[in-house]
Amino acid sequence: MAGLGAAELTAALLAPVGSPIFAVGALVIDRAPAWLKELVIALFGTADKVVLVFCVALGAVVLAAAAGALEFRRAPIGRVLVALAGALAVFAVLSRENTAAFDAMPAVLAMVVSAVLLTVMVAQLRRTPGGAEASAPDRRRFLVWAGASAGLGVLAAAGGQLISAGIRATDAARARFTLPAAAVPGAPIPDGAALDLPGLTPLITPNADFYRIDTALQVPRIDPGTWTLTVTGMVEREIEIDFAELLALPLEESTTTLACVSNAVGGDLIGNATWLGYPIRLLLARARPLAGADMVLSRSEDGWTAGTPLEVLTDDRNAILAVGMNGEPLPLEHGYPVRMVVPGLYGYVSATKWVVELNVTRFDRETAYWTTRGWTARGPVKLSSRIDVPSRNTDVAAGPVIVAGVAWSQYVGIRGVQVQVDDGAWNDATLADAISADTWRQWSWVWPASAGRHTLRVRATDAAGLVQTSVRRDVIPDGATGLHDIPVTVA
Protein backbone atom coordinates (compact mmCIF):
# COMPACT_ATOMS: atom_id res chain seq x y z
CA MET A 1 0.00 0.00 0.00
CA ALA A 2 2.75 2.44 0.90
CA GLY A 3 4.44 1.52 -2.36
CA LEU A 4 1.32 2.29 -4.37
CA GLY A 5 0.80 5.49 -2.43
CA ALA A 6 4.30 6.68 -3.22
CA ALA A 7 3.68 5.81 -6.85
CA GLU A 8 0.41 7.73 -7.08
CA LEU A 9 2.07 10.75 -5.49
CA THR A 10 5.05 10.73 -7.86
CA ALA A 11 2.70 10.08 -10.75
CA ALA A 12 0.65 13.13 -9.86
CA LEU A 13 3.73 15.30 -9.48
CA LEU A 14 5.88 14.12 -12.36
CA ALA A 15 4.20 11.77 -14.77
CA PRO A 16 0.39 11.96 -14.80
CA VAL A 17 0.01 9.13 -17.30
CA GLY A 18 2.23 6.91 -15.12
CA SER A 19 -0.27 6.23 -12.34
CA PRO A 20 -0.11 2.44 -11.85
CA ILE A 21 -3.73 2.13 -10.70
CA PHE A 22 -5.04 4.03 -13.71
CA ALA A 23 -2.70 2.29 -16.14
CA VAL A 24 -3.77 -1.17 -14.94
CA GLY A 25 -7.39 0.02 -15.05
CA ALA A 26 -6.91 1.19 -18.63
CA LEU A 27 -5.36 -2.16 -19.54
CA VAL A 28 -8.43 -3.88 -18.08
CA ILE A 29 -10.71 -1.60 -20.15
CA ASP A 30 -8.88 -2.36 -23.38
CA ARG A 31 -8.62 -6.12 -22.81
CA ALA A 32 -11.91 -6.96 -21.09
CA PRO A 33 -14.44 -8.87 -23.23
CA ALA A 34 -17.40 -6.90 -24.59
CA TRP A 35 -19.98 -8.79 -22.45
CA LEU A 36 -18.16 -7.91 -19.24
CA LYS A 37 -18.06 -4.24 -20.17
CA GLU A 38 -21.77 -4.29 -21.03
CA LEU A 39 -22.51 -5.92 -17.67
CA VAL A 40 -20.51 -3.30 -15.77
CA ILE A 41 -22.19 -0.43 -17.68
CA ALA A 42 -25.61 -2.05 -17.15
CA LEU A 43 -24.97 -2.47 -13.39
CA PHE A 44 -23.21 0.79 -12.62
CA GLY A 45 -24.00 3.06 -15.58
CA THR A 46 -21.63 5.97 -15.90
CA ALA A 47 -20.17 5.16 -12.44
CA ASP A 48 -18.35 2.30 -14.21
CA LYS A 49 -14.99 4.06 -13.92
CA VAL A 50 -15.24 4.58 -10.17
CA VAL A 51 -16.09 0.89 -9.78
CA LEU A 52 -13.11 -0.14 -11.91
CA VAL A 53 -10.61 2.04 -10.03
CA PHE A 54 -11.99 0.71 -6.74
CA CYS A 55 -11.59 -2.90 -7.96
CA VAL A 56 -8.00 -2.33 -9.07
CA ALA A 57 -7.14 -0.69 -5.71
CA LEU A 58 -8.86 -3.53 -3.85
CA GLY A 59 -6.88 -6.01 -5.95
CA ALA A 60 -3.69 -4.24 -4.88
CA VAL A 61 -4.65 -4.56 -1.19
CA VAL A 62 -5.41 -8.28 -1.55
CA LEU A 63 -2.12 -8.73 -3.41
CA ALA A 64 -0.22 -6.91 -0.66
CA ALA A 65 -1.74 -9.17 1.99
CA ALA A 66 -0.94 -12.29 -0.05
CA ALA A 67 2.62 -11.11 -0.64
CA GLY A 68 3.09 -10.60 3.10
CA ALA A 69 1.76 -14.04 4.01
CA LEU A 70 3.82 -15.80 1.31
CA GLU A 71 7.00 -13.88 2.11
CA PHE A 72 6.66 -14.90 5.74
CA ARG A 73 6.14 -18.58 4.98
CA ARG A 74 8.53 -18.95 2.11
CA ALA A 75 10.78 -16.04 1.22
CA PRO A 76 11.27 -14.70 -1.43
CA ILE A 77 7.90 -15.71 -2.96
CA GLY A 78 6.30 -12.53 -1.63
CA ARG A 79 8.95 -10.36 -3.25
CA VAL A 80 8.57 -12.32 -6.49
CA LEU A 81 4.83 -11.58 -6.39
CA VAL A 82 5.54 -7.88 -5.85
CA ALA A 83 7.99 -7.93 -8.77
CA LEU A 84 5.39 -9.58 -11.02
CA ALA A 85 2.75 -7.02 -10.06
CA GLY A 86 5.29 -4.27 -10.69
CA ALA A 87 6.09 -5.71 -14.11
CA LEU A 88 2.37 -5.83 -14.96
CA ALA A 89 2.02 -2.16 -13.97
CA VAL A 90 5.06 -1.16 -16.03
CA PHE A 91 3.66 -3.07 -19.00
CA ALA A 92 0.27 -1.39 -18.49
CA VAL A 93 1.84 2.08 -18.48
CA LEU A 94 4.04 1.47 -21.50
CA SER A 95 1.25 -0.07 -23.56
CA ARG A 96 -0.68 3.21 -23.34
CA GLU A 97 -0.59 5.65 -26.25
CA ASN A 98 2.01 8.44 -25.91
CA THR A 99 3.98 7.11 -22.92
CA ALA A 100 7.75 6.96 -22.52
CA ALA A 101 10.09 5.02 -20.23
CA PHE A 102 9.99 7.92 -17.77
CA ASP A 103 6.27 7.37 -17.22
CA ALA A 104 6.97 3.90 -15.84
CA MET A 105 8.90 5.42 -12.93
CA PRO A 106 5.95 5.51 -10.50
CA ALA A 107 5.29 1.82 -11.10
CA VAL A 108 8.96 0.93 -10.57
CA LEU A 109 9.00 3.03 -7.42
CA ALA A 110 5.86 1.24 -6.18
CA MET A 111 7.61 -2.08 -6.71
CA VAL A 112 10.83 -1.05 -4.92
CA VAL A 113 9.11 0.57 -1.92
CA SER A 114 6.78 -2.43 -1.57
CA ALA A 115 9.64 -4.94 -1.76
CA VAL A 116 11.76 -3.06 0.82
CA LEU A 117 8.87 -2.67 3.25
CA LEU A 118 7.92 -6.29 2.79
CA THR A 119 11.48 -7.42 3.59
CA VAL A 120 11.78 -5.15 6.64
CA MET A 121 8.43 -6.14 8.08
CA VAL A 122 8.85 -9.86 7.57
CA ALA A 123 12.34 -9.67 9.13
CA GLN A 124 10.75 -8.01 12.17
CA LEU A 125 8.15 -10.70 12.43
CA ARG A 126 10.87 -13.37 12.16
CA ARG A 127 12.96 -11.95 14.99
CA THR A 128 11.05 -14.09 17.48
CA PRO A 129 11.23 -17.84 16.95
CA GLY A 130 7.78 -19.23 16.22
CA GLY A 131 6.85 -16.23 14.09
CA ALA A 132 3.09 -16.35 14.09
CA GLU A 133 3.16 -17.11 17.80
CA ALA A 134 5.45 -14.11 18.34
CA SER A 135 5.47 -12.41 21.72
CA ALA A 136 2.83 -9.79 22.29
CA PRO A 137 5.16 -6.72 22.12
CA ASP A 138 6.74 -7.94 18.88
CA ARG A 139 3.40 -8.57 17.34
CA ARG A 140 2.23 -5.17 18.42
CA ARG A 141 5.29 -3.55 16.86
CA PHE A 142 4.62 -5.43 13.62
CA LEU A 143 1.00 -4.37 13.54
CA VAL A 144 1.99 -0.75 14.12
CA TRP A 145 4.43 -0.96 11.20
CA ALA A 146 1.91 -2.61 8.95
CA GLY A 147 -0.86 -0.23 9.91
CA ALA A 148 1.34 2.84 9.58
CA SER A 149 2.63 1.91 6.14
CA ALA A 150 -0.85 1.05 4.87
CA GLY A 151 -2.20 4.32 6.29
CA LEU A 152 0.63 6.36 4.78
CA GLY A 153 0.05 4.60 1.48
CA VAL A 154 -3.64 5.49 1.41
CA LEU A 155 -2.86 9.09 2.39
CA ALA A 156 -0.20 9.45 -0.31
CA ALA A 157 -2.46 7.91 -2.96
CA ALA A 158 -5.33 10.20 -1.98
CA GLY A 159 -2.93 13.17 -1.99
CA GLY A 160 -1.69 12.22 -5.43
CA GLN A 161 -5.24 12.09 -6.74
CA LEU A 162 -6.13 15.43 -5.16
CA ILE A 163 -3.13 17.09 -6.76
CA SER A 164 -3.86 15.78 -10.22
CA ALA A 165 -7.58 16.57 -9.82
CA GLY A 166 -6.57 20.11 -8.89
CA ILE A 167 -4.42 20.43 -11.97
CA ARG A 168 -7.32 19.21 -14.09
CA ALA A 169 -9.91 21.50 -12.50
CA THR A 170 -7.82 24.61 -12.94
CA ASP A 171 -6.93 24.01 -16.54
CA ALA A 172 -5.83 27.56 -17.20
CA ALA A 173 -5.95 27.44 -20.98
CA ARG A 174 -9.58 26.36 -21.07
CA ALA A 175 -10.56 29.01 -18.55
CA ARG A 176 -8.84 31.76 -20.56
CA PHE A 177 -10.31 30.69 -23.89
CA THR A 178 -13.43 32.48 -25.12
CA LEU A 179 -15.38 30.93 -27.95
CA PRO A 180 -15.45 32.89 -31.20
CA ALA A 181 -18.87 33.94 -32.46
CA ALA A 182 -20.57 31.66 -34.97
CA ALA A 183 -20.11 32.80 -38.58
CA VAL A 184 -23.16 30.70 -39.45
CA PRO A 185 -25.72 30.75 -36.61
CA GLY A 186 -27.76 27.60 -36.05
CA ALA A 187 -31.42 27.26 -36.97
CA PRO A 188 -33.26 29.14 -34.22
CA ILE A 189 -34.92 26.90 -31.64
CA PRO A 190 -38.70 27.37 -32.00
CA ASP A 191 -40.59 28.41 -28.86
CA GLY A 192 -42.82 25.39 -29.33
CA ALA A 193 -39.94 22.89 -29.27
CA ALA A 194 -39.82 22.60 -25.47
CA LEU A 195 -42.94 21.43 -23.66
CA ASP A 196 -41.64 22.43 -20.21
CA LEU A 197 -43.46 19.65 -18.39
CA PRO A 198 -42.23 18.66 -14.94
CA GLY A 199 -40.23 15.42 -15.21
CA LEU A 200 -39.65 15.73 -18.95
CA THR A 201 -35.98 15.72 -20.01
CA PRO A 202 -34.92 19.27 -20.93
CA LEU A 203 -34.78 19.94 -24.68
CA ILE A 204 -31.13 21.03 -24.42
CA THR A 205 -29.08 18.93 -22.03
CA PRO A 206 -26.91 21.09 -19.73
CA ASN A 207 -23.22 20.22 -20.08
CA ALA A 208 -23.00 19.09 -16.47
CA ASP A 209 -25.82 16.56 -17.04
CA PHE A 210 -24.64 15.31 -20.44
CA TYR A 211 -23.92 11.56 -20.37
CA ARG A 212 -20.27 10.65 -20.63
CA ILE A 213 -18.97 7.46 -22.24
CA ASP A 214 -15.32 6.83 -23.10
CA THR A 215 -12.44 4.49 -22.41
CA ALA A 216 -10.34 7.23 -20.77
CA LEU A 217 -9.86 6.54 -17.06
CA GLN A 218 -7.97 9.82 -16.85
CA VAL A 219 -9.33 12.59 -19.04
CA PRO A 220 -6.68 13.59 -21.61
CA ARG A 221 -5.37 17.09 -20.88
CA ILE A 222 -4.40 18.66 -24.18
CA ASP A 223 -2.65 22.01 -24.39
CA PRO A 224 -4.56 23.79 -27.18
CA GLY A 225 -1.33 25.63 -27.98
CA THR A 226 0.26 22.38 -29.15
CA TRP A 227 -2.89 20.67 -30.52
CA THR A 228 -2.91 19.89 -34.21
CA LEU A 229 -5.21 17.85 -36.42
CA THR A 230 -3.80 16.04 -39.43
CA VAL A 231 -5.75 14.72 -42.41
CA THR A 232 -3.75 11.77 -43.72
CA GLY A 233 -3.99 8.63 -45.81
CA MET A 234 -5.86 8.36 -49.12
CA VAL A 235 -5.88 12.07 -49.96
CA GLU A 236 -4.30 14.12 -52.71
CA ARG A 237 -2.89 16.55 -50.18
CA GLU A 238 -2.23 15.87 -46.48
CA ILE A 239 -3.33 18.71 -44.23
CA GLU A 240 -2.28 19.89 -40.80
CA ILE A 241 -4.26 22.49 -38.90
CA ASP A 242 -3.63 23.96 -35.44
CA PHE A 243 -6.12 25.35 -32.92
CA ALA A 244 -5.69 29.03 -33.86
CA GLU A 245 -6.20 28.18 -37.54
CA LEU A 246 -9.33 26.17 -36.72
CA LEU A 247 -10.81 29.01 -34.65
CA ALA A 248 -10.12 31.50 -37.47
CA LEU A 249 -12.30 29.49 -39.90
CA PRO A 250 -15.99 30.40 -40.29
CA LEU A 251 -17.52 28.29 -37.50
CA GLU A 252 -21.08 27.01 -37.68
CA GLU A 253 -23.59 26.39 -34.95
CA SER A 254 -25.88 23.34 -35.00
CA THR A 255 -28.00 21.45 -32.52
CA THR A 256 -27.45 17.68 -32.62
CA THR A 257 -28.61 14.84 -30.40
CA LEU A 258 -25.78 12.43 -29.56
CA ALA A 259 -26.61 8.85 -28.60
CA CYS A 260 -24.58 5.90 -27.39
CA VAL A 261 -24.98 2.48 -29.00
CA SER A 262 -25.04 1.06 -25.44
CA ASN A 263 -28.23 2.96 -24.68
CA ALA A 264 -30.83 0.35 -23.72
CA VAL A 265 -34.53 0.80 -24.55
CA GLY A 266 -35.71 3.55 -22.19
CA GLY A 267 -32.10 4.41 -21.25
CA ASP A 268 -30.48 7.79 -20.72
CA LEU A 269 -27.18 7.51 -22.64
CA ILE A 270 -28.41 10.26 -24.96
CA GLY A 271 -28.17 14.05 -24.85
CA ASN A 272 -28.87 17.10 -26.99
CA ALA A 273 -26.55 20.10 -27.28
CA THR A 274 -25.90 23.13 -29.45
CA TRP A 275 -22.42 22.69 -30.86
CA LEU A 276 -20.06 25.18 -32.48
CA GLY A 277 -17.61 23.84 -35.02
CA TYR A 278 -16.24 23.62 -38.52
CA PRO A 279 -17.76 21.30 -41.14
CA ILE A 280 -15.59 18.23 -41.65
CA ARG A 281 -16.72 18.09 -45.29
CA LEU A 282 -14.96 21.42 -45.98
CA LEU A 283 -11.69 20.23 -44.44
CA LEU A 284 -11.89 16.96 -46.39
CA ALA A 285 -12.59 18.91 -49.59
CA ARG A 286 -9.27 20.69 -49.11
CA ALA A 287 -7.46 17.36 -48.72
CA ARG A 288 -9.30 15.82 -51.70
CA PRO A 289 -9.94 12.14 -50.84
CA LEU A 290 -8.82 9.66 -53.49
CA ALA A 291 -11.24 7.41 -55.39
CA GLY A 292 -11.69 4.11 -53.56
CA ALA A 293 -11.57 5.60 -50.07
CA ASP A 294 -14.75 4.89 -48.08
CA MET A 295 -13.85 5.42 -44.41
CA VAL A 296 -12.36 8.07 -42.16
CA LEU A 297 -10.55 6.58 -39.19
CA SER A 298 -10.45 9.33 -36.58
CA ARG A 299 -7.98 9.01 -33.75
CA SER A 300 -7.96 10.63 -30.33
CA GLU A 301 -4.91 11.84 -28.44
CA ASP A 302 -5.13 8.75 -26.20
CA GLY A 303 -5.24 6.34 -29.13
CA TRP A 304 -8.99 5.58 -29.32
CA THR A 305 -10.36 5.29 -32.87
CA ALA A 306 -13.69 5.48 -34.72
CA GLY A 307 -14.40 4.49 -38.34
CA THR A 308 -16.91 6.78 -40.06
CA PRO A 309 -18.23 6.26 -43.61
CA LEU A 310 -16.57 8.88 -45.83
CA GLU A 311 -19.92 9.57 -47.56
CA VAL A 312 -21.47 10.62 -44.23
CA LEU A 313 -18.65 13.12 -43.70
CA THR A 314 -18.93 14.56 -47.20
CA ASP A 315 -22.74 14.79 -47.61
CA ASP A 316 -24.81 17.82 -46.60
CA ARG A 317 -25.21 17.02 -42.90
CA ASN A 318 -23.77 18.96 -39.97
CA ALA A 319 -20.78 16.69 -39.31
CA ILE A 320 -18.39 19.02 -37.50
CA LEU A 321 -15.13 19.39 -35.64
CA ALA A 322 -16.68 20.92 -32.54
CA VAL A 323 -14.95 23.37 -30.20
CA GLY A 324 -18.03 24.63 -28.34
CA MET A 325 -20.87 22.94 -26.47
CA ASN A 326 -23.88 24.96 -25.34
CA GLY A 327 -21.98 28.25 -25.51
CA GLU A 328 -18.91 27.02 -23.61
CA PRO A 329 -15.58 25.61 -24.71
CA LEU A 330 -15.93 21.80 -24.77
CA PRO A 331 -15.70 20.48 -21.22
CA LEU A 332 -12.56 18.35 -20.69
CA GLU A 333 -14.65 15.17 -20.38
CA HIS A 334 -16.47 15.92 -23.62
CA GLY A 335 -13.34 16.26 -25.74
CA TYR A 336 -11.56 19.59 -25.11
CA PRO A 337 -10.19 21.15 -27.22
CA VAL A 338 -11.77 19.50 -30.30
CA ARG A 339 -14.15 16.59 -30.93
CA MET A 340 -16.28 15.25 -33.77
CA VAL A 341 -20.09 15.44 -33.80
CA VAL A 342 -21.94 13.63 -36.59
CA PRO A 343 -25.77 13.62 -36.76
CA GLY A 344 -27.26 10.19 -37.39
CA LEU A 345 -24.46 7.90 -36.22
CA TYR A 346 -23.86 6.40 -32.78
CA GLY A 347 -20.94 7.92 -30.88
CA TYR A 348 -18.68 4.87 -31.18
CA VAL A 349 -18.38 5.29 -34.98
CA SER A 350 -18.33 9.08 -35.16
CA ALA A 351 -18.01 11.24 -32.05
CA THR A 352 -14.26 11.09 -31.40
CA LYS A 353 -13.29 13.31 -28.47
CA TRP A 354 -9.78 14.81 -28.12
CA VAL A 355 -9.44 14.17 -31.87
CA VAL A 356 -5.98 14.61 -33.45
CA GLU A 357 -6.07 12.73 -36.75
CA LEU A 358 -8.45 11.97 -39.62
CA ASN A 359 -7.04 9.10 -41.63
CA VAL A 360 -8.84 8.65 -44.97
CA THR A 361 -8.86 4.92 -45.67
CA ARG A 362 -11.05 1.90 -46.47
CA PHE A 363 -13.33 -0.29 -44.35
CA ASP A 364 -11.56 -3.38 -45.70
CA ARG A 365 -8.19 -2.07 -44.50
CA GLU A 366 -8.79 -0.62 -41.06
CA THR A 367 -10.86 -1.46 -38.00
CA ALA A 368 -11.69 0.94 -35.19
CA TYR A 369 -11.57 0.52 -31.40
CA TRP A 370 -15.03 -1.01 -30.87
CA THR A 371 -15.24 -2.85 -34.18
CA THR A 372 -12.46 -5.16 -33.05
CA ARG A 373 -14.54 -5.87 -29.93
CA GLY A 374 -17.82 -7.27 -31.22
CA TRP A 375 -19.62 -4.15 -32.50
CA THR A 376 -20.48 -3.62 -36.16
CA ALA A 377 -18.35 -1.35 -38.35
CA ARG A 378 -21.23 0.92 -39.37
CA GLY A 379 -23.48 2.37 -36.70
CA PRO A 380 -26.46 4.44 -37.89
CA VAL A 381 -28.69 5.53 -35.01
CA LYS A 382 -31.93 3.51 -34.74
CA LEU A 383 -35.36 5.15 -34.65
CA SER A 384 -36.34 5.21 -30.99
CA SER A 385 -38.57 6.79 -28.34
CA ARG A 386 -38.83 7.05 -24.57
CA ILE A 387 -41.49 7.83 -21.95
CA ASP A 388 -40.27 10.29 -19.29
CA VAL A 389 -43.60 11.27 -17.70
CA PRO A 390 -45.07 9.78 -15.57
CA SER A 391 -41.89 8.30 -14.15
CA ARG A 392 -41.77 4.54 -13.61
CA ASN A 393 -43.89 3.08 -10.85
CA THR A 394 -45.41 6.36 -9.74
CA ASP A 395 -49.02 6.42 -8.65
CA VAL A 396 -51.32 8.82 -10.50
CA ALA A 397 -54.94 9.82 -9.88
CA ALA A 398 -57.70 8.62 -12.22
CA GLY A 399 -58.75 11.19 -14.84
CA PRO A 400 -56.67 13.06 -17.42
CA VAL A 401 -52.95 12.21 -16.99
CA ILE A 402 -50.18 13.79 -19.05
CA VAL A 403 -47.87 11.27 -20.71
CA ALA A 404 -44.74 12.74 -22.35
CA GLY A 405 -41.28 11.94 -23.58
CA VAL A 406 -38.82 12.20 -26.46
CA ALA A 407 -38.38 10.47 -29.83
CA TRP A 408 -35.37 10.55 -32.14
CA SER A 409 -34.05 9.46 -35.52
CA GLN A 410 -31.16 11.82 -36.16
CA TYR A 411 -30.66 13.06 -39.73
CA VAL A 412 -33.99 11.47 -40.76
CA GLY A 413 -36.35 13.21 -38.34
CA ILE A 414 -39.57 12.26 -36.51
CA ARG A 415 -43.02 12.42 -38.11
CA GLY A 416 -45.22 10.87 -35.43
CA VAL A 417 -45.42 9.33 -31.97
CA GLN A 418 -48.11 7.01 -30.64
CA VAL A 419 -48.95 5.75 -27.18
CA GLN A 420 -50.64 2.47 -26.26
CA VAL A 421 -52.31 1.62 -22.96
CA ASP A 422 -52.12 -2.09 -22.10
CA ASP A 423 -52.99 -3.88 -25.35
CA GLY A 424 -55.37 -1.21 -26.65
CA ALA A 425 -55.30 0.87 -29.82
CA TRP A 426 -52.45 3.24 -30.64
CA ASN A 427 -53.21 6.91 -29.86
CA ASP A 428 -51.52 9.79 -31.69
CA ALA A 429 -49.45 11.97 -29.39
CA THR A 430 -48.99 15.72 -30.01
CA LEU A 431 -45.52 16.54 -31.26
CA ALA A 432 -43.63 19.59 -30.06
CA ASP A 433 -42.02 21.67 -32.83
CA ALA A 434 -38.85 20.18 -34.28
CA ILE A 435 -35.51 21.99 -34.02
CA SER A 436 -34.25 19.98 -37.01
CA ALA A 437 -34.13 16.37 -38.16
CA ASP A 438 -30.88 16.04 -36.18
CA THR A 439 -32.43 16.44 -32.75
CA TRP A 440 -34.83 14.56 -30.57
CA ARG A 441 -38.43 15.73 -30.53
CA GLN A 442 -40.63 16.06 -27.47
CA TRP A 443 -44.18 14.70 -27.46
CA SER A 444 -47.14 14.49 -25.10
CA TRP A 445 -50.51 12.79 -24.89
CA VAL A 446 -53.36 13.19 -22.44
CA TRP A 447 -54.41 9.80 -21.09
CA PRO A 448 -57.95 9.38 -19.74
CA ALA A 449 -56.70 7.10 -16.97
CA SER A 450 -58.95 4.58 -15.23
CA ALA A 451 -58.18 3.02 -11.85
CA GLY A 452 -55.96 -0.06 -11.78
CA ARG A 453 -52.51 -1.20 -12.90
CA HIS A 454 -51.64 -0.31 -16.48
CA THR A 455 -48.74 -0.46 -18.93
CA LEU A 456 -47.95 2.55 -21.12
CA ARG A 457 -45.99 1.91 -24.32
CA VAL A 458 -44.59 4.30 -26.95
CA ARG A 459 -43.58 4.00 -30.60
CA ALA A 460 -42.32 6.57 -33.10
CA THR A 461 -42.58 6.95 -36.88
CA ASP A 462 -39.70 8.60 -38.70
CA ALA A 463 -39.96 11.24 -41.42
CA ALA A 464 -39.55 8.54 -44.08
CA GLY A 465 -42.59 6.65 -42.73
CA LEU A 466 -40.74 3.84 -40.94
CA VAL A 467 -42.60 2.66 -37.80
CA GLN A 468 -40.41 1.77 -34.81
CA THR A 469 -40.14 -2.00 -34.46
CA SER A 470 -41.42 -3.85 -31.39
CA VAL A 471 -38.81 -6.59 -31.86
CA ARG A 472 -36.56 -6.59 -28.78
CA ARG A 473 -32.88 -6.71 -29.54
CA ASP A 474 -29.89 -6.19 -27.27
CA VAL A 475 -27.51 -3.22 -27.64
CA ILE A 476 -24.78 -5.51 -29.04
CA PRO A 477 -23.80 -5.47 -31.92
CA ASP A 478 -25.39 -2.31 -33.40
CA GLY A 479 -27.89 -0.78 -30.96
CA ALA A 480 -31.05 -1.87 -29.13
CA THR A 481 -34.50 -2.12 -30.67
CA GLY A 482 -37.90 -2.61 -29.04
CA LEU A 483 -40.55 -0.39 -27.50
CA HIS A 484 -40.22 1.39 -24.18
CA ASP A 485 -43.00 0.62 -21.72
CA ILE A 486 -43.61 1.58 -18.10
CA PRO A 487 -45.94 0.24 -15.41
CA VAL A 488 -48.29 2.82 -13.84
CA THR A 489 -50.73 2.43 -10.98
CA VAL A 490 -53.86 4.62 -11.17
CA ALA A 491 -55.56 5.16 -7.79
Ligand X SMILES: Nc1nc2c(c(=O)[nH]1)N[C@H]1C(S)=C(S)[C@@H](COP(=O)(O)O)O[C@H]1N2
Residues forming contacts to ligand X in the complex (CB under 6 A) are 210-216, 258, 260, 300, 304, 334, 347-348, 351-354
Q: Which one of residues 213, 332, 338, 342 is an interface residue with Mo ion (CB under 5 A)?
A: 213
Q: Minimal distance in Å, beta carbon 38 to ligand X?
A: 12
CB 222 → ligand X: shortest distance, Å? 11
Q: What are phi and psi of 151, to 5 degrees?
A: -60, -45
- What whole-number distance in Å separates Cα of residue 242 and Cα of residue 226? 8
Amino acid at position 39, single letter: L
Question: What residue type is assigned to position 239 of the chain?
Answer: I
Q: Is 347 in the site for Mo ion (CB under 5 A)?
A: yes
Q: What span, in angstroms and rounded, lies between the C-alpha atoms of 203 and 430?
A: 16
CB of 355 to Mo ion, least distance (A): 15
User: Which of ligand X, Mo ion, none is residue 214 near (CB under 5 to 8 Å by kind)?
Assistant: ligand X
Q: Going by C-beta distance under 8 Å and a sequence separation of 6 or more, which residues neighbour residue 284?
A: 231, 235, 296, 310, 313, 314, 358, 360
Interaction between residue 370 and Mo ion (CB under 5 A): no
Q: Are strands 339-341 and 430-431 parallel, antiparallel or unpaired?
A: unpaired
For ligand X, the closer CB: 216 or 387: 216
We find the least distance from the C-beta atom of residue 297 to Mo ion, in angstroms, to be 17
* Residue 307 binding Mo ion, by CB under 5 A: no
CA-nearest of 365, 478, 435 to 192 is 435
For residues 366 and 291, what is the distance between their CA atoms, to the nearest angstrom? Answer: 17
Q: How far is the CB of 356 from ligand X (least distance, A)?
A: 10
> To the nearest whole angstrom, how small is the minimum distance from the Cβ of residue 216 to ligand X?
6
Q: How far apart are CA 478 and CA 464, in angstroms?
A: 21
- What's the min distance (Å) between Cβ of 370 and ligand X? 7
Q: Toward Mo ion, which CB reaches closer, 11 or 273? A: 273
How far is the C-alpha of 155 from the C-alpha of 140, rounded, in Å?
22
Cα 478 from Cα 491, distance rounded (Å): 40
Indicate the residue among 214 and 478 with the shorter CB distance to ligand X: 214
Q: Which lies closer to ligand X via its Cβ, residue 67 or residue 213? A: 213
- 68 binds Mo ion per the rule CB under 5 A: no
Nearer to ligand X, 6 or 340 (CB): 340
Q: Where would I find the beta strands (DSSP E) of 219-327?
A: 228-233, 239-242, 252-259, 270-279, 295-300, 305-309, 320-325
Residue 79 interaction partner, one of Mo ion, ligand X, none, beta carbon < 5-8 Å per kind: none
Among residues 138 and 333, whose Cβ is nearest to ligand X?
Answer: 333
Name which of ligand X, Mo ion, none residue 336 binds, using a CB cut-off of 5 to 8 Å depending on partner kind: none
Minimum CB distance to ligand X, residue 325 (Å): 8
Site size toward Mo ion (CB under 5 A) is 4
Residue 306 interacts with Mo ion (CB under 5 A): yes or no = no
Cβ neighbours, 10 Å, residue 236: 9
Residue with the shortest CB distance to ligand X: 347
Give the shortest CB-104-to-ligand X separation in angstroms. Answer: 23
d(C-alpha 491, C-alpha 488), whole Å:
10
The answer to whether residue 260 forms part of the interface with Mo ion (CB under 5 A) is yes
The nearer residue to ligand X, 347 or 390, going by C-beta atoms, is: 347
Of the two residues 92 and 488, which places its CB atom closer to ligand X in the complex?
92
Q: How far apart are CA 118 and CA 30, in angstroms?
A: 31
For residue 3, the SS3 value is: helix
**HEC profile for 104-116?**
HHHHHHHHHHHHH
User: Where does this chain touch Mo ion (CB under 5 A) — which range of 38-46, 205-213, 271-279, 385-393?
Assistant: 205-213
| Interface residue list for Mo ion (CB under 5 A) | 213, 260, 347-348
